[in-house]
Structure 1
Amino acid sequence: MRIGVDVLALGELDRLNTREWFRRHTYADEELGYAATLSPSREREFLAGRFAAKEAVVKALGTGFGGGIRPAQVCVARDDRSAPVVRLSGAAARHAQELGLAAITVSIAHKGACVVAVALAEDRGGSAAATGHQAEQIATTAVRNITRLRTGMGNARNGNA
C-alpha cells in the first residue's frame, strides 16, 4: 500500500482558478462540468478539494506532477453516493499500472479554511473496502490535527499559549 496526503488553504487557488488555461490543465471535463452546477462558494470548495486529492494521488504514485503526468489525468469523480472516485488516464494510468496498483481510494475533508486529502494506493490483491475506511480515518485525523495546530498558532500570536 502507498499513501499520499495533501493540505491546501481554501483560497490558495482562487486566482489560478479564474484562468481558463489553468482549469483545462488541472481538471478533467467531468470535474469542471460538475463544478459548473454549483454556487460560486461551493465551486471554490469543490475545486480546492479536487486539487488536494490530485496532489495526494500523485504523491501516492511517488511522482508528483512531472514525468508526463498532468493534473487533468487524475480525475476525482463522484460515485452514485457522491463519494470521490479516482480515474486515471494517460501517463498517470500507465505509471499506476507499472507499480502494480489495483485501485486508488481518496478521502477529502474540509474544515474552515483548510482542505485535506488522503490517497491510498492499493496493490493488486488488497482490500478496497479496508483501504477506503483507512483513507477516511487518516483524513479525519489530519483535519483534527490541523485545526488544533491552527488554534494553537492563533493563541501563540495572541500571547495566550
Structure 2
Amino acid sequence: MIKGIGIDIVEVKRLRDIIQRWGERAKKRMFTSKELKYAHMRKKGEFIHLAGRFAAKEAVVKSLGQPTSFLEVEISKEKNGRPYITLKGRTKETAREKGVKEILVTLSHTRTYAVAQAVALGEK
C-alpha cells in the first residue's frame, strides 16, 4: 500500500552556487560522507550527482510528510545502478511509526536539472 509520494527537481547551478558560497560547511549539512565520496568520484561532475541526491532526499522527506535532517536520509546505489534509501535516527523512527516498510526512489539528471521521485510503501 502506498503511504506517501514525493517528487523534487533541483537546478544544478543553484546547488553549485550554494555550495561554492558556503563551502564544505554546506556539503556537510546536506550530504553524508558516503554521498560526498560517490559524487566526487563521478566523471560527469560532482554537482550533477549531488543535485540528484539532494532531489532524492527532498522526495523522500515529502513522501514521509515530515521535515527531517538531510543527514538522516542517505542515498546509495546498488551494483546494478538502482538507487536505494537508508534512513537513520528520528527519520527512521518516523517512517516506522507511519507504517512505512520500504521507500522506492528513482532519480535522473542532466547537466542542468536533477529530478527524483520517492514512494513510501507499507501494509494496510
Aligned residues with identical type, % of pairs: 32
Counterpart Cα distance in 2 of 1:23 and 1:8: 15
Greater C-alpha Rg: 1
The answer for the alignment partner of 2:9 in structure 1 is 7
Aligned match of 1:34: 38
| Aligned twin of 1:55 | 58
State how far apart, in whole Å, the 1-side matches of 2:72 and 2:119 are. Answer: 17
User: Partners in 2 of 1:115 and 1:12 — Cα distance?
Assistant: 11
Deviation at 1:17, TM superposition (A): 2.2
RCO comparison, higher one (Cα < 8 Å, 6+): 2
Does the CA contact (< 8 Å) of 2:48 and 2:111 recur in 1?
no
| Aligned counterparts of 1:27 and 1:13: Cα–Cα separation in 2 | 12
Q: What SS does the aligned partner of 2:41 have?
A: coil
Q: Distance in 2 between matches of 1:81 and 1:29?
A: 22
Shift of 1:80: 1.5
1 or 2, which has the higher helix percentage? Answer: 1
Partner of 1:121: 120
Q: Distance in 2 between matches of 1:46 and 1:111?
A: 10
Equivalent position of 1:45 in the other structure: 48
TM-score by length of 2: 0.89
Taking the TM superposition and a 5 Å limit, the aligned residue runs for 1:1-161 are 1=2, 2-18=4-20, 19-39=23-43, 41-64=44-67, 69-111=68-110, 113-124=112-123
Pairs aligned (count) = 120
CA apart distance, 1:89: 0.3
1:67-90 deviation line (CA, Å, top 9, x unaligned): xx2101100011121211100001
1:139 — aligned with what? none
Runs of 4+ in 1 over 6 A off after TM superposition: none
Please tell me the residue identity of whatever aligns with 1:5: I
SS at match of 1:14: helix
Instruction: Please tell me the root mean square deviation across aligned C-alpha atoms, in Å.
Output: 1.5
Stretches of structure 1 that go unaligned for 5 or more consecutive residues are 126-161
Bigger strand fraction: 2
Superposition deviation, residue 61 in structure 1: 0.4
When normalised by structure 1's length, the TM-score is 0.69
